[in-house]
Structure 1
Amino acid sequence: MGSVTYHFGEFDLDPSLGRLGNRGSPVGLEPRALALLCYLVEHRDRVVPKQELLDAVWSGEFVTDAAVTTGLRTVRLAIGDTGRRQQFIRTAHGRGYQFVAPVTVTPEPTAAVTDSTRDTIRFCRTADGTRIAWAVTGAGPPLVKTANWLSRLDMERATPIFTHWFEGLTRGRQLIRYDGRGSGLSDWTSGFTVAEWIEDIDAVADAAGLDRFPLLGVAQGGPLAVAYAASRPERVSRLVLSAAYARGRLARARDAAEHAEANLDLKLTLAGWAAEDRSYQRFLGAQFFAASPPERWDEFTAYQRQTVSAANGARFLEVQSRMDVADLARRICCPTLIVHSRDDPRVPVSQAVELADLIPGSRLVLLDGRSHLLTAEEPAWPRFLAELYAFLAEEDTGQDR
């Protein structure tokens, strides 16, 4: 039997993809809450006891009944339900919960997907039990991309600001990427350390059956890629860094003025998350896409809010601003390509120069561009792809031997 999509009210729920939509627009819902909603919809013919929900959704974890209460509150907020206005999920006091809204079911075809340009989303577990969502796109030699800033696998390719990355990175290659813990379709856990992020890459590489592979780190994924290449030299054959840095903004502040500026940058961004004020949120979008019109900044803001909770987004920002992998960069022994836009407003080009100085034998290429994340319209984009594929071809043709 193929997968199915459940339709209720204005919502569509696809358990196989882990996706909830409202009139075609994705609804951000952390994976555990989404699993809770799926279970209630799939067992809507009866009242589901609280203990059954705990066993099914939090299997093997030590949690209290409060986990179900919190999860239901999150679900109800996402679908417009409340404790009093129970049009979708009804509380049967003393017995459990039941999904009571009318549901129609649309079966999906069972035929296997043969289009190699489509994503195949899978899940794996890290050494500490965290569930990580990962995806494969394209065919050919592998290229693993570290998670950077925020992502959500089932939405990325439909978001115009990112679609060119998939077309560009899958030309004769198999792109393997994932949602880092704390965001997207992966578990929204509280772990935000470099060691835990390294575990995420290990789990994905193992699940994909990869022993050794080239690694791409973009923007905030750059320092993580550096840390992984230094910690797992036996696994990384080549390293590509784009818009990357060795030290976050707070970590690299040299004096009181730079420290104050870095703190202001962090506070402005956090204020946008907390207040949902578009003017604050545009601040980060304008830095990521400086060469683009304001509409793209808003598109980026909307995407971010569907990938992570405000609390986790804030924690990501704080941890990334304090990251320092300078010492690890000196230990990298694989061929390394560093590509950076000369006028990157988020990460100054001086940070690329520092990386090139730290990583032995690395190659630095500076592009004429103004955005932190390269857009399809910039002349820097085809230049980036040309440099990337020429660099990877050296490994494919045996020049590393």
Structure 2
Amino acid sequence: MPQDLQVSLLGELRVIASGSEVALPASRKARALLGFLVATARPHRRERLCELFWALPDDPKAALRWSLSKLRRAVDAPDRARIVADRERVQFDVEDVDVDIRRIHERLRQDGGPLPVADLEQMARQLDLVLLDGLDGAGDEAFDAWLLAERDDAEAARADVLGRLATHPAISAASAKKWQRLWREVEPDGAADNARASSASADGQAGGTGRRRRSRHDAAAGAPAPGSSIADRHAGTTGTSFKSRALRAQRIGFCQARDGTKIAYATVGSGPPMLKAANWLNHLEFDWGSPIWGRSFAAIARRRTFIRYDERGCGLSDWDVEDLSFEAFVDDLEAVVDKLGLDRFPLLGISQGCAVSIEYAVRHPERVSGLVLVGGYAAGWRHLATPDEQERREAVLKLTEVGWGTDNPAYRHIFSQTFMPDADPGDLAWFDEFQRLTTSPHNAARFQDAFGYIDVRHRLAHVKAPTIVLHSKYDQRIPLDLGRAIAAEIPDARFVPLESRSHIIVDYEPAWQAGFDAVGEFLAEKGI
């Protein structure tokens, strides 16, 4: 049954009600506001919308009210308000609204057999248009960054559609050649040629079915075949993807901790800052191709200035360091904040980075506007583990030191299997090699030893920042009870258990989206 309201974001913004096009306000800012609300389909604080579209000395609040009143005339029905607003937030209700780009994304995510050729061809025509064409510069730099990211997503969808057409089992050889050429234009990294060759060799025709369907994760991250090297994975990201663009745009700098250790940090994106405390197994460059970090980092950088750094002893920071302790980890975080002159920001902690974030938040309550803690613990294994478990940990320390840097991934597989037990075999292989390139065998053992001594249990009650704690229910590395204990002791902390066995959730697990949505709602609710 066709919907009464249709919104076209591809091309110039258009609204169609009951089959007739609706006149929109002449104001570019008002139309950009509508496009932003429809595309995001979530509540936004009025103050944030004012910042995005109106600058002083104008009256932003009055301009927002005027724009909303004009837009309501275009999209609201007599019995249904599409623009839902209260004194603090504004949202566009997309239920039962046909939004072209949203419909395309949903169709491409559907499981089952190939989509009909006619449907794919219609999608290709629509995606050939520029999303929200003509609205560049209608808002501030953060709006332009958001718009660029949305266009990158639309371009990725276009590449997906062209690839499906080029290798569709029901398409003629002549048509396949046309779509192959167009696909190659948007995926110049060789993926189109490789898929074409694979398809042709499978059944001898251009439209054969031999091509392996790229998963959503593959399309987003430019994933190589299982067993590819990290360099291949890193270089093979789709040129038009947001992650690839973000990798090129990130700005890497260095600061000096109190003991003289050089700490590498990176900033990417625009808007209000968000800082991620370092955790083990980070690398400022290789992280972007990661099935663990890449999609998460890109999503954050679309709306914020995202700041992260490599912990001492790994990544681009100094590896040859004397002090590899919890106190040194906190010093590194302080050095980055001071170097960038950050006044107030939400702090993201992952794994042992949660304890570092907690300690920093207690020491500097005036700077931390909120805490997002994922898969963390307040006390390390030397404090909580049974004697048998401590003995096993000591054995793993020795295995790490003698085997971490070898070509045999078995030693590193101990960690990859517990970090993400349900990951694809190709992602596990990638992670094995990522570990080897991230730090030295000696430092890998030192990290494990240092994490065992962490203890911030006495600091939890002193956290003043609004806090959300997320933890996988069946975490194979850090049990759920340790995350729950953090949430129980931090005043008014929110606890979100996630349906996963992974310590660090892989970006194609359903729990990834659930966790990301929970954090977004928390930050919006707290006005962070």
TM-score, normalization by structure 1 = 0.67
Which whole-Å CA distance do the structure 2 matches of 1:271 and 1:252 have between them? 26
Does structure 1 residue 362 correspond to structure 2 residue 493?
yes
Letter of the 1:385 partner, please give it: F
Contact 2:500 2:511 (8 Å CA) reproduced? yes
CA contact (8 A) 1:214 1:236 kept: yes
Corresponding residue SS for 1:195:
helix
Q: What amino acid maps onto 1:367 in structure 2? A: L
Task: Tell me the distance in 2 between the aligned counterparts of 1:291 and 1:142.
Answer: 33
CA distance in structure 2 between the partners assigned to 1:246 and 1:285 by the alignment: 22
Q: Supply the AA of the counterpart residue of 2:487.
A: A
User: Counterpart in 1 of 2:524?
Assistant: 393
Instruction: Label 1:271 to 1:346 Cα distance change in 2 as closer, same or farther (>3 A).
Output: farther
Distance of aligned partners of 1:191 and 1:126 in 2 relative to their CA distance in 1, 3 Å threshold: same
Q: Does residue 25 of the first structure (1) align with residue 231 of the second (2)?
A: yes
Which residue of the partner structure matches residue 412 of structure 2? 281
Task: Give the partner amino acid of 2:231.
Answer: S
Aligned to 2:269: 138
Residue 303 (structure 1) aligned with residue 434 (structure 2):
yes
| Contact 1:124-1:131 within 8 A present in 2 as well | yes
Say yes or no: does 1:120 pair with 2:120. no
Q: Of the candidates 354, 358, 361, which is equivalent to residue 229 of structure 1?
A: 361
Give a deviation string over 1:248-287, Cα, whole Å, max 9, x none: 222212x433433443454454454265542222111001
**Residue 372 of structure 2 is aligned to residue 240 of structure 1:** yes
Preserved contact between residue 250 and residue 262 of structure 1 (Cα < 8 Å): no
Relative distance call for 1:24 and 1:160 in structure 2 (3 A) is closer
Question: In 2, Cα distance between the equivalents of 1:341 and 1:159?
Answer: 19
Instruction: Map residues 3-82 of structure 1 onto 2, 5 A cutoff.
Output: 25=231
Structure having the larger proportion of residues in helix:
2
Gaps of 5+ in 2: 1-228, 233-244
Report deviation, 1:245. Answer: 0.7
Q: Is the CA contact (8 Å cut-off) linking 2:326 and 2:451 kept in structure 1?
A: no
On the 8 A contact 1:245/1:355 being kept in 2, the answer is yes
Tell me if the contact between 2:300 and 2:306 (Cα under 8 Å) persists in the aligned partners: yes
User: Which residue is 1:199 aligned to?
Assistant: 331
Q: Deviations over 1:209-234 (max 9, x none)?
A: 20221100011211111121122222
Which one has a larger percent strand, Structure 1 or Structure 2? 1
Which one-letter code corresponds to 1:227 in the other structure? E
Quote the residue 2:21 is aligned against: none
Q: Distance in 1 between matches of 2:524 and 2:509?
A: 24
**What is the rounded CA distance, in whole Å, between the counterparts of 1:369 and 1:350 in structure 2?**
14
Answer yes or no: is the 8 Å Cα contact 2:412–2:435 preserved in 1. no
What is the one-letter code of the residue matched to 1:311? Answer: H
Deviation at residue 116 of structure 1 after TM alignment: 6.3
Which of 343, 346, 353 is the matching residue for 1:214? 346
| Structure with bigger RCO (C-alpha 8 Å, 6+ apart) | 1
Give 1:383 deviation, angstroms. 1.0
Deviation per residue, 1:151-196 (Å, 9 max, x gap): 1212211334431122222231111000111111112222212222
Output one character per residue of 1:24-65: Cα deviation in whole Å (capped at 9) or x when no partner.
939xxxxxxxxxxxxxxxxxxxxxxxxxxxxxxxxxxxxxxx
| Whole-Å separation in 2 of the counterparts to 1:200 and 1:215 | 14
Q: 1:393 & 1:280 partners in 2: Cα distance?
A: 42
CA contact (8 A) 1:131 1:187 kept: yes
SS at match of 2:282: coil
Residues 172 and 150 (structure 1), Cα distance of their counterparts in 2 relative to 1, 3 Å cut: same
Could you tell me whether the CA contact under 8 Å between 2:403 and 2:441 is conserved in 1? no
Which stretch of the first structure deviates more once superposed, 230-239 or 334-343? 230-239
Cα separation, 2, equivalents of 1:261 and 1:240:
31
What is the DSSP-based 3-state SS (H/G/I as helix, E as strand, rest coil) of the residue aligned with 1:374?
coil
Give the SS at the match of 2:404. Answer: helix
Aligned to 1:217, the other structure's residue is in SS state strand
Q: Is the 8 A contact 1:182 1:190 kept in 2?
A: no
Identify the residue that residue 456 of structure 2 maps to in structure 1: 325
User: Distance in 1 between the 2:377 and 2:257 partners?
Assistant: 26
User: Could you tell me how far apart the structure 2 residues matched to 1:139 and 1:132 are?
Assistant: 22
CA radius of gyration, larger in: 2
Aligned positions, number: 286
| Residue identity in the other structure for 2:318 | D
